[in-house]
Amino acid sequence: MPKLKTHSGAKKRFNLTKTGKVKRAHAFKSHLLNGHGKTTKRKRGLRAGAYADKTNEFAIKRMIPYK
């Protein structure tokens, strides 16, 4: 039986919940944090995690089969 390759980048970026949903971090949260960038309210909203879209869920689960 051949080895099943995983994507180590995806393994770090996504988590599976107990119900089987894929949890991810918000995008665009690390750039322009001070000065003329994002407001405090917007940055606070980006802290929380989000769920991956249903259309991408199958592909993400294939990248992280053992998680």
Residues 2-55: tens digit of each pLDDT: 777 778 888 889 999 999 999 999 888 888 888 888 888 998 999 899 999 999
**Cα–Cα separations (whole angstroms), residue 64 to 16, 20, 51, 59:** 9, 12, 15, 9
For residue 35, the model assigns a pLDDT of 80
Which residue did the predictor score with more confidence, 62 or 5?
62
Which residue did the predictor score with more confidence, 67 or 47?
47
For residue 31, the model assigns a pLDDT of 85
67 pLDDT higher than 70: no
| pTM, to two decimals | 0.71
